[in-house]
């Protein structure tokens, strides 16, 4: 059975053009390390100058991500504190529009910040690089996109549940419509975005 499996694997490798595929990952082009002899196979390979410094850079980058998320929380709370001054539904709509624009602006800024932080961390392998980038972006996008809804639903005081539900519903509609409008606007007027 094992021999049949190896034959099937070899046949599929040949059919799919994967005969030259190497199972070991090579360091990414942007990696800045030192050339050393591998203890495993004796070949020359690029490695970290100091693992401690690598982990320190990761901790520093995650601290910067946490700071960015805290800035988003502060800005959203301040935006919705403006809403408490205005109980009128049209003013609530304008505050929702300001919040939707804030979400798009912070997302745009954070894309550049996360790329810079990832390059600062100096990951050795492509997989490490992309995994770190995905973690940073998902954490920030979740906090940035859903923070206002969470604040409205759980922290802001309301006269009734119906008022709370109406405010969250209006905020959802405004966020979705503004996201569509901003994306289309950027596509027409700045296609390289």
The rounded distance, in Å, linking the Cα atoms of 60 and 117 is 9
CB 104 within 8 A of CB 178: yes
Give the relative orientation of helices 89-121 and 161-189 as an angle to the nearest 10 degrees.
Answer: 60
The rounded distance, in Å, linking the Cα atoms of 66 and 60 is 10
pLDDT of amino acid 48: 79
pLDDT of amino acid 193: 57
CB-side neighbour CA atoms (13 Å) of 101: 8
pLDDT of amino acid 59: 94
pLDDT of amino acid 106: 92
pLDDT of amino acid 6: 87
Q: In whole angstroms, how far apart are CA 3 and each of 17, 75, 193?
A: 21, 63, 53
pLDDT of amino acid 47: 76
The rounded distance, in Å, linking the Cα atoms of 110 and 140 is 8
What parts of the chain have a pLDDT lower than 50? Answer: none
Residue-wise DSSP of 40-65: TT--EEEE-S-HHHHHHHHHHHHHHH
Query: pTM score > 0.75 for this model?
Result: no
Residue 125, classed as helix, strand or coil, is strand
136 burial level (CB within 10 Å; 0-12, 13-18, 19+): buried
pLDDT of amino acid 132: 92
103 burial level (CB within 10 Å; 0-12, 13-18, 19+): buried
pLDDT of amino acid 58: 92
Question: In 3D, which of 146, 136, 155 has the Cα closest to residue 179?
Answer: 146
């Amino acid at each position: 059975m094992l021999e049949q499996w190896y034959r099937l694997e070899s046949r599929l490798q040949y059919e799919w053009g994967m005969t030259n595929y190497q199972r070991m990952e090579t360091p990414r082009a942007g990696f800045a390390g030192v050339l050393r002899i591998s203890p495993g196979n004796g070949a020359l390979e690029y490695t970290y100058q100091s693992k401690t410094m690598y982990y320190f850079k990761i901790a520093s980058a995650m601290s910067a991500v946490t700071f960015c998320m805290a800035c988003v929380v502060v800005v959203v709370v301040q935006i919705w504190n403006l809403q408490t001054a205005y109980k009128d539904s049209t003013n609530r709509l304008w505050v929702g529009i300001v919040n939707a624009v804030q979400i798009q602006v912070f997302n745009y800024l954070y894309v550049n910040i996360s790329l810079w932080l990832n390059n600062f961390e100096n990951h050795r392998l492509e997989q490490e690089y992309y995994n770190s980038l995905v973690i940073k972006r998902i954490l920030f996008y979740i906090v940035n996109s859903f923070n206002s809804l969470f604040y409205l639903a759980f922290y802001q005081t309301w006269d009734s549940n119906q008022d709370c539900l109406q405010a969250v519903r209006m905020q959802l509609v405004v966020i979705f419509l503004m996201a569509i409008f901003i994306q289309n606007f950027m596509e027409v007027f700045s296609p390289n975005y």
